[in-house]
Amino acid sequence: MALSKIKANSLGTTGTPTSSTYLSGTMAWTSLTADITGVTAGTGMTGGGITGDVTLNVIGGTGIDANADDIAIDSTVATLTGTQTLTNKTITAVQLDIEAQGDLRLQDTTGGQYVALQAPGTVATSYTLTFPGDDGTNEQFLQTNGSGVLAWAAAGGATGAGGDEVFYENGQTVTTDYSVTASTNAMSAGPVTLASGVDVTLTGTSEWVIV
């Protein structure tokens, strides 16, 4: 004789069957409220829940969806392997490591040409360059203080109205230690004041003339 129906309470179950519960291995009706956690990328996800967030612990870079609207990398280490193409996406990360003297390529509007930034083949000691907080003024250049802090400074060449480049301008106060390069001479228009604790060092046969 064929069975037409089976009653839930005839299976020896506990709990109450509803639209938001499932029958666990212990024959207990269990609420579907827990999040999915500890999922390894590449093996797929099973189970589910009706509320709460789904947490995906990505192991390796192959599990990162390049088609997502945004990619937030907030784990200790996330590695992108192989060729990853991200079109009109945003990557948010605390640190981005480009290995093996790879390029950071900034492409033009058509994507045909680019400007690349690249580290030297050998770096004796790692260092960080900190950019200034603004874009400076016309004809200034980026100058380092020798400790990785960049600032805008005057180029020091002759300037003037129109094409008359006859004026050399310099500041009146030396606020940072400076060493004149060996076998060269330096010249400044005075008066020039050294700030407290600041030194100007003449190296070898170098000279500093204030006129």
Residues 144-201 have pLDDT tens digits of 888 888 888 877 677 776 667 778 888 899 988 888 888 899 999 999 999 999 999 9
Coil, helix or strand at residue 182: coil
- Which tokens sit at 113? 């040409």
Report the C-alpha gap between 210 and 170 in whole angstroms.
11
- What pLDDT is stored for residue 168 in this prediction? 81
pLDDT along the chain (211 residues), means of 10: 55 73 75 54 46 46 47 54 67 78 86 88 89 83 85 75 76 89 90 92 91 91
Backbone angles phi, psi at 189, to 5 degrees: -90, 125
Helical H runs in the chain? none
Q: Which residue has the tokens 């509803």?
A: 18
Q: Which residue has the tokens 């990328």?
A: 41
Where does residue 56 rank: exposed (0-12), middle (13-18), buried (19+ CB within 10 A)?
middle
Identify any residues that bridge with 39 across adjacent strands, giving them in sequence order. Answer: none
User: What's the pTM value of the predicted model, to 2 decimals?
Assistant: 0.42
